[in-house]
Amino acid sequence: MNEKFFDLKKEKQDRMINAALKIFALHGYKHASTDDIVGEAGISKGLLFHYFGSKLGLYTFLYDYSVRFMKLELTSGVSSTSTDYFEIRKQMEYAKMQVLKNYPYMQGFLNRCKSEDVNEALVAIEKQRNVIQDVYAVLKNQSDRSLFVSDVEFEKLDSMLDYTINGLMTARFDSSSFQPEMLYEETVSYLDMMKKIAYK
């Protein structure tokens, strides 16, 4: 992590982080422009390179920061005693909502990183590439699968909900109507609906 960067005022840190998250989330590593990032953040390019050295340095920092931040919120936001799969998913989505209040594009950035195909970017994040997916797996594995009706295939249901939740977030951003609280409420409505179908 970049210690000099954390000497800045929190407001300026977050402005720079949010600008970079947005541009990388929308355009991917290859097409993300540092000109667009500094324009969005309202800073000079010299300042950006002073703290991060290069576009790759910024991307690497951003990925590390996002993984740490999201992991902390998820692991502290989901009760270790919860065994109801749908309640665990709600707690996970609530934790993500708290993240998105501060960093609206963080989840989008992490999603985009999963499909990254530029070699230098892949190498930079390789060590932590599966951290968040592993956290998700641990949390979901707390669930008592005996609660499901016998013909429900858990992995397919789980994947379907992942696609639905990511699709809802993308749709809200595309329509310029993104509000974390509204996204959470909409997500919960889908989880409640599926619970009625999937449980005995």
Question: Do the domain assignments include residue 199?
Answer: no
* Tens digit of each residue's pLDDT (9 = 90 or more) over 16-71: 999 999 999 999 999 999 999 999 999 999 999 999 999 999 999 999 999 999 99
Q: Is the pLDDT of residue 4 over 80?
A: yes
The number of angstroms, rounded, from the C-alpha of 87 to the middle of its chain's C-alpha atoms is 19
* Tens digit of each residue's pLDDT (9 = 90 or more) over 164-187: 999 999 998 888 888 999 999 999
Question: Do the domain assignments include residue 200?
Answer: no
DSSP labels, 57-121 = HHHHHHHHHHHHHHHHHHHHHS-TT---HHHHHHHHHHHHHHHHHH-TTHHHHHHHHHT---HHH
Q: What pLDDT is attached to residue 1?
A: 56
Q: What pLDDT is attached to residue 177?
A: 82
Report the pLDDT averaged over residues 136-146. 96
Question: Do the domain assignments include residue 4?
Answer: no
* Tens digit of each residue's pLDDT (9 = 90 or more) over 64-93: 999 999 999 999 999 999 999 999 999 999
Question: Do the domain assignments include residue 19?
Answer: yes
Total tally of structural domains belonging to the chain: 1
Residue 189: give its domain's CATH number: 1.10.357.10
